[in-house]
Amino acid sequence: MLLFPALVLGGEKEETYLKETMIPLAQEFLQRIGQANNLPQGTNQVKNYKVGYFNDRPGCTASLRLTNNSYFLYHTETNKTEVWTFQRNIKTYYSLAGAPKAKIEAVKALNLQNKLNKESTLVLAKKYFKMIGHKEENFHPPELIQCYWSGEEGGKLPYYEITWYRKDVDVTNLAKNGNVNYKAVIIEVSGINSSLISYTKAGMPIGSDF
């Protein structure tokens, strides 16, 4: 089970980890997904970061937020590290209960920019899935939902969430088992510009599916 230690900021050890591990891995990840224009070139593009070391073994969890508000979570075990969560500064859900009409209309207008459908979304998501390093044969067929906003009316947004459960996950009984065996990759993509919005890897070894 993954333990989450208390997060600490600052200090020579943490700063070294930032410079030698966190920033290079963020650069590599952004290059993989075709967002090289957002590459952090140094600590001047770091808004904040935190590092929490394990008490019972070598390793840590860490977070990094860039000045453009892109967000990364890291997991290190001994000498292996990976980005296990990436999130751009894009909201893929809105609660608009009681919101002014102008705000509701603005959010509704987002979906008019949508260039994707179910088929093209799956093609796009699979591209990112492979670019990050996952293999389809290790997973069940992906599940897709279109993101939405809630309120008196409710409606769709031009963003999609795609989930791959690993082959050994009992998908049928997942909810009943309380996600005890939750091993999955979750990707969100934009129908506006076909970019990757977010990525999460859960319950799998560092650097591999199995």
- 186 occurs within a structural domain: yes
Q: What is the three-class DSSP state of 121?
A: helix
Among 47, 62, 87, the domain-final residue is 87
Looking at the structure, do residues 135 and 186 belong to the same domain, yes or no?
yes
Same domain, 41 and 57: yes
Q: Are residues 107 and 191 in the same domain?
A: yes
Read off the CATH number of the domain in which 148 is found.
Answer: 3.10.450
pLDDT in tens, 77-133: 998 999 999 999 999 999 999 999 999 999 999 999 999 999 999 999 999 999 999
151 in the same domain as 109: yes
User: Are 185 and 169 within one domain?
Assistant: yes
Query: What pLDDT is attached to residue 67?
Result: 93
Question: What is the reported pLDDT for 9?
Answer: 55
Residues 63 and 82 both lie in one domain: yes
User: Exposed (0-12), middle (13-18) or buried (19+): which is 198, by Cβ within 10 Å?
Assistant: middle
Give, in order, the Cα–Cα distances in Å from 11 to each of 14, 130, 186, 194, 210.
5, 37, 33, 39, 35
Domain-ending residue, one of 59, 87, 115: 87
Look at residue 120 in the predicted model and tell me its pLDDT: 98
Tell me, yes or no, whether 36 lies in a domain.
yes
Structural domain harbouring 49: 12-87
Could you say which of 87, 115, 134 is where a domain stops? 87
Q: What is the pLDDT of residues 133-180, one digit of tens each?
A: 999 999 999 999 999 999 988 999 999 999 999 999 988 887 676 656
Looking at the structure, tell me whether residues 167 and 128 fall in a common domain.
yes
186, 101: one domain? yes
CA 160 to mean position of chain CA atoms: 13
Q: Are residues 37 and 76 in the same domain?
A: yes
- Quickly tell me which residue has 């500064």 as its tokens: 89
pLDDT score for 3: 42
Same domain flag for 100 and 193? yes
| Domain contains 172 | yes
**107 and 156 co-located in one domain:** yes
Tokens 């891995």 sit at which residue? 25
pLDDT tens-digit readout, 3-60: 444 444 568 999 999 999 999 999 999 999 998 777 887 788 999 999 999 999 999 9
pLDDT of residue 179: 59
